Structures are given as structure tokens and as C-alpha cells.
Structure 1
Amino acid sequence: MAGPTTAERQQKKSGPPRPQRVRRPGLARARKLIVLLVLLVLVVAGGVWVLYGSPWLRLERVRASGTGVLTPQQVTDAADAPVDAPLISVDTDAIEARLRSKLPRIDSVDVTRSWPHGISLEVTERKPVLLIEKGGKFIEVDAKGVRFATVERAPKGIPLLELALDRESGAASLRRFGTDRLLREAVGVAGDLPRAVARETRNVKVRSYDSISLELSGGRTVEWGSGEKGRTKASTLVALMKATPKARNFDVSVPTAPASSAS
């Protein structure tokens, strides 16, 4: 009888053949997905902790800029920002609302986060174009007709409103439009004045809706008419004053037919 072959002898030494592993690509992908999800959760949780729970990104300082009459300290005090709170949680809209409510002199304010520890307040103050005298004090009115402050002394270069209503036309204007509308017309005229003329304007006198005049320095006067076509009247007045520098009375109530006189 023939002995075992060489292949049979090698098989006895190495033992029976090992079963091959069956690869399951779906299981491998699931494991990778689970690992990625766990990592994502950890990253998100860490980010939330850094923003809300860590001491690294908390509000430490509030700075104000752009102030004129107001002081930066007044603005930061009125803002009442929650110092030591997480910077991400600071309600910037609430800060803006508080500033507008407490400081009517503020026309607009830009509240921004200055990472990692600050809040910046960029303030724009209202500019008075007209004053209303009341009880020995002066109410400042801006170009939008907002009465935003009462001061002890009249600021230089700001004209004073004078209501000197005529018996007939003035009374009729008052009945038809009311005091607030007449005030808005005067404010509109003051707001349309060129800067050089505004500095020389002492009074804005309202006799009726259609009869508003200016009293300038040196006893000069300007008949403006109504508040309509204000910009056209303003440019016409500048040209007229340059053409007749010695004139003391100017009329731009009809801007297409201006007039001036020495007396």
C-alpha cells in the first residue's frame, strides 16, 4: 500500500483548514457612524460649555463711544449690562431699548459683542435744530420733531421758536392743523437751513401755516412762506445772499421769484 502523500502529511501537521471570516461592511459603517456621533456630541457639549459655563467668555467690560453732550459713564450706567454673565447670553436688543428709554437724547445706538469679554455701545445723539422756551428753560427739538431734552441754557447756534400767530390766518391755521403740526413745519424749516444760515438764525417765527419767517443776526429777516419746497428755498436763499450781500430783507416764499431789499 502506498503511504500518505506529501499534501496529506502537511495537512496533518497544520491541522484542519480555518474558516474564513465573513466581512460585514454594514456593521463597520455603523460602528464608524456611532463613533462620529459620539465625537459630535462631545464637540457640541464642549462648545456649549465654553460659551455658557466656562469663565473664559464672560462679560467683563462695557464701553461707550460717539457721545457728545452725554458722557460715556452715563451711557454705560443706563445700559445696565449684566457683568459676569456669559457674553453669548447678553440681550443686546434689551440694552438698546433701555438706552432709548432712559436717555431720549440718543437717536440710535449700535450694541455689539466684543469677544471675548466686552460689549461696545456706538451712540449717535440727537442734534437740536430748534428750541422752545418754557418756564425759563429750553426744550431741544431735533429734525424729526422729537422733543428730547430740557436744558437750563440755550445752546449756541440753535434758533428759538416763536409762535406769533396772526389773528385771522394764524387762528385759522391753528384750528385746521393744531399746534403740533405748526411746530413740525417750523422744525422742517430749521432742518432745511444751510449750516451757514442756521448759525446766524436767531428766531423761527410762525405767524400761520403759510407764513414762516426767520430773524437772522444783524437785524436781517427772511420771509420763508410755508415749509414746502424747503431745500429749493434754502439753495435760493444762499444764492440771493451772495448776490446781494448788503441786503437786510430776503423773500424766498416763492423760490422761482426771490427778492431782497436793503430796508
Structure 2
Amino acid sequence: MAGPTTAERQKLDSGPPRPARSRPRVPRPRTLILSLIALVLLGAGGVWLFYGSQWLRVERVTTSGTRILTPEEVREAAAAPVGAPLISVDTDALEDRLRKKLRRIDSVDVVRSWPHGIGLKVTERKPVLLIEKGGKFVEVDAKGVRFATVGHAPKGVPLLELRPDQENAAASLRRFDSHRLRRESVRVAGALPAAVARDTRVVKVRSYDSISLELSGGRTVAWGSSEKGRTKASTLTALMKAAPKARHFDVSVPTAPASSAS
């Protein structure tokens, strides 16, 4: 029996006939026009909803995180545009305004609370040191920022006593002026363990590397310079636990601490 002819073999190898490709349908001009009109109306409706309607406007301003400041002070300083479209509120401008007007504010986060609110989340500065000036007290935070002057010293915040060593005062102040020495004292106060900070009454500064602490109960701590603050803090905590009846501690060289009862 004869096999398939050459023409038949080529037909078999080529497989079933492929369907003809259909050309993409081009939308009619009328359909394009209607689609564009729908998009324009949708956009205009969105703009009106956010900017022109009365539904999404600022009606209330709330605050959180205040300790010393009052919510009323924060809201007044923020001056949020009540009645304005909520989407148009410049939150960055509100944050800058609050930090400039209220130096007690360390950071603030302004958030939109849809559909009608503005939230002011405040973090206040915490004093780590006090500077007495004219019978009042300047509060200084751990960053060295002087942020408030108060009439009464807050409890648990040590007072700075800046008294350069008279024998070496001239040489010390040439290298480290009083402003630099104050910064070093702030670094020391900021590095103190929480329990020690609460008991610290005075931070005494005689020179860059001669900083000491006066604690409650007549106890003292020779701290030295502000360098290696974390190590000194850990060493002091361990030293106080090991010698609970000691009255004088020395962590100026944290690798060789010392304590004494007198």
C-alpha cells in the first residue's frame, strides 16, 4: 500500500489550520467622548468633595501627650484652621509653629483624623539639669536645650553648680569655657541611672575632667569627665549594690572604681 504523498505529508506536518487573527476593535468616537466626560465629572466631583463641600472640613482639634503644657496652650499655639478643608491643612507648618512657639515641645506629630479632626501628638522635653538664674530655674534637657524658666525647682532634677578650680581656672577656661562646661554637665546628668538621677541634688563642675555629684543623705560621687558615661553609670550601679552603706563613690576611672564609708 502506497504511503502519503509529499503534499499530504506537508499538510500533516503543518497541523490544523490557524484561525485568522482578529484586529483590535477601535472604540467609537462617541464612546471615547463619553469616557472622557465621565472622567472629568469624576475628577470634578472629587475636588468638590474634598475642597468645596462641608463634609470634610476641620471641626475639632485634639491633643495628647501633654504633661506640663495644657491642651488649650497647644491648640492655641497650633492655630489649626478650623472650618478649612481637612485635606488642605499643612501639617508640616503646624508642627514647625508648635516647636517654635512652645520650646517645651521636643517633637510633635500632626495627623488628620477623617472626616473632621486634627490630632496633635506631643512629646515634651524632660529636664535633666537646672541652672539657677535670678532666683528662678532654667530647665535643660538631655540635648542641652534650655527650654523653660520656672519659679520652683522640679523635684528629682539636679542643680548645676559651676565653680571652676581657682588654681587652674584660667587655663581651664581657655580650653573649656563656661558654655562648654555646662554642656559636659548636661551629658553627665543625661547618663545617670534613673535611681541615681532621682537622688542627685547637685552636679558640681570644677573643670572638664572634675565633675562630681551630691546625692541625698550626704553621699557623693566622683564622676570625672563626661566621657564613657554609660560605662560609668553601669559601674556606679554595681558599686552601690556591692557597698550599700558607702557614702563616697569614685567612678572617674570606671575600670578601677572605689567606695568608702567616710
TM-score, with length taken from structure 2? 0.89
SS in 1 for 2:176: helix
Q: Is contact 1:51-1:88 (8 Å) kept?
A: yes
Percent of counterpart pairs with the same letter? 77
Matches within 5 A, 1:14-53: 28-53=27-52
- What's the Cα RMSD here? 1.2
Q: Distance in 2 between matches of 1:65 and 1:81?
A: 15
Q: How many residues align?
A: 239
SS in 1 for 2:95: helix
Q: Please name the residue that 2:243 is paired with.
A: 244
| Per-residue Cα deviation, 1:200-249 (whole angstroms, up to 9, x for no partner) | 00000000001000000011100000000000000000100111111111
Cα drift, residue 27 of structure 1: 6.7
Q: Is contact 1:203-1:214 (8 Å) kept?
A: yes
Inter-CA distance 236–189: structure 2 relative to 1 (3 Å threshold) = same
Cα drift, residue 112 of structure 1: 0.5
Cα drift, residue 29 of structure 1: 3.2
Bigger Rg over Cα: 1
SS in 2 for 1:242: helix
Matches within 5 A, 1:216-235: 216-235=215-234
Q: Please name the residue that 1:165 is paired with.
A: 164
TM-score, with length taken from structure 1? 0.89
Q: Distance in 2 between matches of 1:122 and 1:156?
A: 26
| Per-residue Cα deviation, 1:19-73 (whole angstroms, up to 9, x for no partner) | xxxxxx8774332222111101100000000000000001011001000000111
Q: Distance in 1 between matches of 2:188 and 2:212?
A: 9
Q: Please name the residue that 2:130 is paired with.
A: 131
The one-letter code of the counterpart of 1:230 is G
SS in 2 for 1:213: strand
Q: Distance in 1 between matches of 2:32 and 2:251?
A: 80
Q: Please name the residue that 1:85 is paired with.
A: 84
Matches within 5 A, 1:97-246: 97-246=96-245
Q: Please name the residue that 1:254 is paired with.
A: 253
Cα drift, residue 178 of structure 1: 1.6
